[in-house]
Structure 1
Amino acid sequence: MTKRNRKKEENVQDVNRFMREVESAMHVDNMLAFWNDHKFKIVSGVVGLFVVVTSWQWYAQTAEKGLKKQADALWSIEQNVDVAPEKYNTIIENGSKGYQTYAWFAKAESFVAQGEFNQASAIYSDIAKNANEKEFAELANLKLAMMMIEKDVSKAQPILKELAENEGVFTLSAKELLAISYEKQNEQEKALKLYENLVVNPALPQPMRQRVQGRVDALNRGA
């Protein structure tokens, strides 16, 4: 066994242990508390880690099912820092369902990295509309809103409001982004009210609480 393959197998074992915690948390509808325990630091980090660990889960599962060639194909793509969107097409066209979903997310991220926001938006919208798993639909909508918030706040807000009201996996992140969107529109009172509601939520992870409290203090000072 090569050093690289040995390291890969060790990583899979580590992630499998991590994913058992994830699955346990999801089974008891307690993902937010799980995230709080692991102290995810920023909104994009939360989303990014969700995609990373699910991709690792698919790697482990497909390897166990004898689909190692497919798993290795995606793994090899992900080792490259700059990945062209078309690199994911083979997996999208021929992969199993879980790998196809992850490859679509990864392809959208590649478009974002290249500044091709219309292409990325189309992919996220399609995932949000057609994903069977609620979590992936919500993740796609959150990624779409995160991209839109810098381009057109008015289009991002309806998506964020729906996510904030659904009480799903990404509710807290959606509320924070919604408050940020209000600040971008100079609606400081709306932003402050939402930040204040967030900061007293016992499920709020500590890094997010510190960030939100900072905005509460700044807005109360008129900053």
Structure 2
Amino acid sequence: MRWSRLLPPLVPALALMGAGALWWTAGGTPAELRGIALNEPCPLPTFRLGNGEGEALEREDLLGQWHFVYFGYTHCPDVCPPTLARLGELADLLPAGEAGYLFVSVDPARDDPAQLAEYTDYFHERLQGYTGTRAGIDRLVAAAGAHYRLGEGADYTVDHSAGVFLVGPEARVRAVLPPPHRPAEMAELFRDVQKYSP
């Protein structure tokens, strides 16, 4: 049997095998989502937070809808205000009801729920601010893969994650959108993550 007769049919198969190998070595993540989408989504634990309306937010409330989650604090002098402004612009780009927008304060000692509500309303009406107990916040932050560290002194600052965490409708962190945050790009990445199933 001549190899020349076998070669043409083998070329497409070999190409597919090569593409599969590249996909596997990249962790199965599309090129545009590498470093953003998680190969293994992080499930969120049970938690309970509160807002300025006296409403509680629990893990079950996240089920069935995508959410953009940002961890920060209202006294933040630099990163939080522009990030929340970008989230507000993103909320105007995406259809209402397609995603939720959550700001979780990691500074419950200074950010009470009423203050959070006033703060988030400034950026967008659909941006909801929540906080909780220190233990509950720590558990949620750790599970999401975020971080924060309280400073010292009366007017302390907080070092915290700058990324926006994209939580899927199964209450698992599916991606982390890094800064700089540009609403149009965030919307496009959101669509890409929705199509990507790890």
Report 1 or 2 for greater relative contact order, CA contacts < 8 Å, sequence distance ≥ 6.
2
TM-score under structure 2 normalisation? 0.23
Which one has the bigger helix percentage? 1
Greater radius of gyration (CA)? 2
More strand by share: 2
TM-score by length of 1: 0.22
